[in-house]
Structure 1
Amino acid sequence: MLNGILVIDKDSGMTSADVVYHLRKALHIRKIGHAGTLDPEVTGVLPIAIGQATKLIEMMHTRPKAYIGSGLFGYRTDSYDTEGKVLEEKKLTEAFSASEIQDKMHSFKGTITQVPPIYSAVKVNGKHLYEYAREGIEVERPKREVEVYKYDLTRKPEFDSEKGEESFSFQIECSKGTYVRSLVNDLGEKMNTPAVMTHLRRVASSGFDISQAVKLDEIIKNPEKAAELIQPIDAFFKDYETIDLNEGKWLKVKNGALISLKTDAKSVALRYNGRVKAIYQKTAKGYRPKLMLLQNE
């Protein structure tokens, strides 16, 4: 039985659910789930939790994400990317400087309030926003607070005087729930010109990055390679303080008992026989279970 995180480099044109479906068929394992949905046209890091690792999915969602992508000043769509209906066009008569764009990008750093695109999976009254959009129903989109850690240009913008458009490339690091399409659209608003996202690739998520990723086709063609490429559950907790348990403490942890530990850490990874078996968190009376991983072998 596989236990761990398989980092998939998702191709364009496939949903995150499609990836899970194909892996279930290839690996003959039902206990599989993804952390952090990617839109079909977006490529890159999609962490797939397998076996005991499915218990980590909620925690995986909380880790920062990183993207590289590109945008274009000159028009705006209802989906904030090139897949949507054009709502506004405005030819640029002169280029924005790199410093102008960068300054506006930096204004988004920190905690911001964001409105998700109408074509998104956010739910209102039990229904996805994209469902309302397809039916032509107007609905108030819920605002949410997200954290932007980095929003930078990665190369000099390119101005096309004939088309009256300017393209730019960026890198973004952000918290869960952040819509990069909205950041591009909102950048345009700050520049007083329409903007649209033209390409997006996620390069890190849930503590894993693109260097650890494998193409889905590689696993489908050679399912046995999954055992070689899967990241162990313990890799997710590499930033935690780790404590090796003696036999006595292990017996208590197996039963989910309150224990005392010689540490002041808020959360600790408890290891037995070389594997993380539980995450315990500090309370006023001692350390209690936060997450049990007893079958992590």
Structure 2
Amino acid sequence: MINGIVVLNKPRGMTSSDCVYKLRKLLHIRKIGHAGTLDPEVDGVLPIAIGQATKLIELMHEKPKSYIGEGMLGSRTDSYDLQGHILESLELEQQYSSSDLKAAMKKLTGKIKQVPPIYSAVKVNGKRLYEYARENIPVELPERDVTIYDYQLTQEPRFDEKDKLEYFDFAIQCSKGTYVRSLVNDLGTLLDVPAVMTSLTRIASSGFNINHAVTLSEIEENLDQPEKWLQPIDEFFKEYKKIDLSQAQFSRVKNGAGIELEGVSEEKVALSYNGKIKAIYKKMGNEYRADLMLLQNS
């Protein structure tokens, strides 16, 4: 049985579901799912949970995500990226300074309300927004509360004298549910110029970064050596206080019973037996009780 997290370096041109399907076939496993969808033309970190790790997917969503990408000033599309139809374009009369861009980025940092692109998987009345768009059905776009922890210009913007367009590189760290495409579009709105995202790479998600990532071909070439491409479940909980259980304590834990832990004050702890985390317990009154069971983690 395989239990763990594949930190996949998703290539452009594949959907997140394509990647899960490919891995399901390669590994001959049914219990598998991804945490945090990436658009087909976005590459980078796509965490995929396997076996017992599928229980972690909701927790994986809660951790911040980080991206690097490029935006362009002078054009706007209905999808907020280059895959959509052009709605507006103009030749810039002058270049926006790095100070202009940084000031606008700062206004989009913190807790904000964001409107997702019409070409997105957000559901309204049980139907995804991109389905409304494809059927030309008018729909009110819902506002969402998201947190932008950091929005930075990573180098000096570049002005294309020939086409009168401006390009800028950015880095973003944000909460779940954030559409980076919308942040680029909103930046243009603040600058009073059409803007579109031209490329995007996710460099961190679910507590893992691009340095942990492996490609589909690397997995296929090392199917019999999962240690080369599989992150253990315990790695996800490395920030938790780890408690090694005695046999008597584990006998209670495996039956879901509460236990007392002297000298421990953390709200949640990772309970380990025989070198593997078997449960996450949460403090309730004078004892700790089951929050997440991972008994088959091996």
TM band (smaller chain): over 0.9
Q: Does 1:276 align with 2:274?
A: no
Q: Which of structure 1's runs of 4+ aligned residues deviate more than 4 A?
A: none
CA contact (8 A) 1:80 1:197 kept: yes
Q: Does 1:287 align with 2:285?
A: no
**C-alpha deviation, 1:217, in angstroms:** 2.1
Matched residue, 2:129: 129
User: What is the identity, as a one-letter code, of the residue corresponding to 2:170?
Assistant: F
**C-alpha deviation, 1:228, in angstroms:** 2.6
1:37-116 mapped onto 2 (5 Å cutoff): 37-116=37-116
Q: Does 1:257 align with 2:240?
A: no
Cα shift readout 1:14-33 (whole Å, capped 9, x = no counterpart): 00010010101111111111
Matched residue, 1:149: 149
CA distance in 2, matches of 1:233, 1:114: 33
CA distance in 1, matches of 2:107, 2:247: 53
CA distance in 1, matches of 2:287, 2:88: 59
CA distance in 2, matches of 1:62, 1:21: 24
**C-alpha deviation, 1:285, in angstroms:** 4.5
Q: Does 1:217 align with 2:213?
A: no
Matched residue, 1:238: 238
- Change beyond 3 A, Cα 1:192–1:236: same
CA contact (8 A) 1:6 1:226 kept: no
**C-alpha deviation, 1:272, in angstroms:** 0.8
When normalised by structure 1's length, the TM-score is 0.98
Which moves more between the two structures, 280-289 or 13-22?
Answer: 280-289
User: What is the identity, as a one-letter code, of the residue corresponding to 1:24?
Assistant: R
Cα shift readout 1:82-104 (whole Å, capped 9, x = no counterpart): 11011111221110111110111
CA distance in 1, matches of 2:217, 2:140: 40
CA distance in 1, matches of 2:243, 2:147: 31
1:199-214 mapped onto 2 (5 Å cutoff): 199-214=199-214
**C-alpha deviation, 1:269, in angstroms:** 0.5
**C-alpha deviation, 1:222, in angstroms:** 3.8
Query: Matched residue of 1:223: which SS?
Result: coil
CA distance in 2, matches of 1:280, 1:296: 15
CA distance in 2, matches of 1:164, 1:194: 13
Query: Matched residue of 1:156: which SS?
Result: coil
**C-alpha deviation, 1:107, in angstroms:** 1.3
Cα shift readout 1:93-150 (whole Å, capped 9, x = no counterpart): 1101111101111111110000110000011111110000000111111111111111
Matched residue, 2:7: 7
CA contact (8 A) 1:22 1:220 kept: no
**C-alpha deviation, 1:221, in angstroms:** 4.1
Q: Does 1:186 align with 2:186?
A: yes
**C-alpha deviation, 1:160, in angstroms:** 1.3
Gaps of 5+ in 2: none
CA distance in 1, matches of 2:254, 2:50: 22
CA contact (8 A) 1:75 1:196 kept: yes
Cα shift readout 1:156-210 (whole Å, capped 9, x = no counterpart): 1001122121000000000000000000000000011010000000000000011
Matched residue, 1:36: 36
Which moves more between the two structures, 49-58 or 255-264?
Answer: 255-264
Query: Matched residue of 2:155: which SS?
Result: coil
CA RMSD of aligned residues (A): 1.0
CA distance in 2, matches of 1:132, 1:124: 9
Query: Matched residue of 1:104: which SS?
Result: helix
CA contact (8 A) 1:93 1:161 kept: no
CA distance in 2, matches of 1:144, 1:286: 37
CA contact (8 A) 1:92 1:161 kept: no
Percent of aligned pairs sharing the same letter: 61
Query: Matched residue of 2:130: which SS?
Result: helix
CA contact (8 A) 2:79 2:85 kept: yes
User: What is the identity, as a one-letter code, of the residue corresponding to 1:290?
Assistant: D
